[in-house]
Amino acid sequence: SRQDRAREAERRTYEETNFVRLPKESKKERAKRKAAEGPRAGGFGGEDFRSLGEGADRIARLTKRSAGSSRAGALEKSRKRAFTEDGPRGDGVAAIGQNFEKRQKKVEGWKK
């Protein structure tokens, strides 16, 4: 990054003006410096993923309808599922049991 290049340039000029070689930065020192810089400097695997969220925000802003618009846009019509406000459904375990009991009654009816 730009900060790393600036740090290297400062180190190089110091070494050249004082005719001395500074020891290479150890892993421990490097880890301490990166921890001090915080997560904003690096990212996952040394990559900077901050700019990825900007695109999503921009898309949401561009596709949002104005407040006065009454009709549903093509984007809203293309949604597969309607928005529900009643909260999450169950985990499905009870429904499986009910289906099994229903099937069991049906099979018992065949045997008679």
Residue 108 lies in a domain: no
pLDDT digits (tens, 9 = 90+) for 66-83: 665 656 666 677 776 666
* Structure tokens belonging to residue 18: 């004082």
Residue 70 lies in a domain: no
Contact 63, 75 (CB under 8 A): yes
Residue 25 lies in a domain: yes
pLDDT digits (tens, 9 = 90+) for 77-100: 777 666 666 665 666 666 677 888
- What phi and psi, each to the nearest 5 degrees, are found at residue 17? -75, -30
pLDDT digits (tens, 9 = 90+) for 24-57: 989 999 889 888 876 665 566 667 676 776 777 7
Residue 96 lies in a domain: no
Q: What is the extent of the structural domain holding 57?
A: 2-63
pTM attached to this predicted model:
0.32
Residue 76 lies in a domain: no
* 62 has a pLDDT exceeding 80: no
**Average pLDDT score, the chain:** 76
Residue 55 lies in a domain: yes
Domain count, the chain: 1
